[in-house]
Amino acid sequence: MGVPSPVPVALNQVFETYKHNQVTLTILGSGVWGQTLAGLALANQHQVRLWSRRQGLTLEQAVAGADLVISAVSMAGVPDLAKELEALAIAPTTILVTATKGLDPATTLTPSQIFQQTFPGHALVVLSGPNLAGEIQQGLPAATVIASRQETAAEALQHVLATETFRTYRSGDPLGAELGGTLKNVMAIAVGVCDGLKLGANARSALITRALPELIRIGTHLGGQAETFLGLSGLGDMLATCTSALSRNYRVGYGLAQGKALEQILRELGSTAEGVNTAQVVMAIARRDTLSLPICDQVDRLLRGQISASAAVTALMERQLKAEDYQQLLRVG
């Protein structure tokens, strides 16, 4: 658990009221994930405003008087959205939540880091976990992580979104939770390739298992805590995203393995696959900081058209033989 950030007593008292009363919740982004989160809050009788640039409600109207504001826009829209929100003088009692998984290409920052820079005095919460929106909308059981350095703010969102079929867990490592949900998208592309090439269950299992230490390596390098990546927002999210055709990133890899062009795959998806951008940003960081990320490297090469799907698999199989490093998984202190 991270060290909680000090929050003024008055704010903590306000956040406590959010746990036991109906709140006004604004969700920025009316895509499938935004609509799913809106449905969870509505199930608990909260007042929900759903905003997008294509609808009539202005951003100022959407956030006015909101107790919680959840950003569920794509990564590409986060920097501009943060700037627009900054100009609206949002009340300090408003909890800001990010439910976006990605890295900004210009700065390599996560959404929470961008919002924290913009709103240093606000309580900031990250929502991340194995949350395939289609299954949640069907009422199938799911769980997620609500992570914040301000524990009372995390508890407030826990109560707002928890339902009989949606269980919320609390964490003090928002950056780690966010990075787990971001980095696993690259691994999901790799597993999609594996399945698209029909390499079998042995290959899929080996790939997911080897992806975990790689995820921990880059995640801890960027500031997350190792143990966070073994939980719902790390391993849990990776398992869901790497094993379901509902995952957009998995479908990208599967399509590439079938010989489709990336542009065609993204057009057919009709929505964002954040792993495509994340792979490029992660490898830029790896080259800058001299990190060994073999799976991410091959995914990035494949997405850039520099290598075929089968050649990417061959490159991974031909790497120098080595011992399996359990210590990286166990080194959580």
Question: Between the CA of residue 162 and those of 46, 166, 170, 203, what are the distances in Å?
Answer: 12, 5, 11, 36
> Which of 19, 83, 101, 184 is flagged as catalytic?
184
Question: What CA–CA distance (Å, rounded) separates 250 from 203?
Answer: 15
> Are the C-beta atoms of residues 29 and 52 closer than 8 Å to each other?
yes
Using an 8 Å Cβ cutoff, are 26 and 55 in contact? no
Dihedral sign computed on CA atoms, order 304, 305, 306, 308: positive
Q: Is 322 a catalytic residue?
A: no
Among the listed residues 124, 313, 121, 285, the one whose alpha carbon sits nearest the alpha carbon of residue 218: 285
Q: Is 133 left (phi over 0), alpha (psi -120 to 50) or beta?
A: alpha
Task: Give the Cα separation of 324 and 331 in Å (integer).
Answer: 14
Q: Report whether 83 contacts 56 (CB < 8 A).
A: no
Contacts of 39 (CB under 8 A, 6+ apart): 136, 137
Annotated active-site positions, please?
Answer: 184
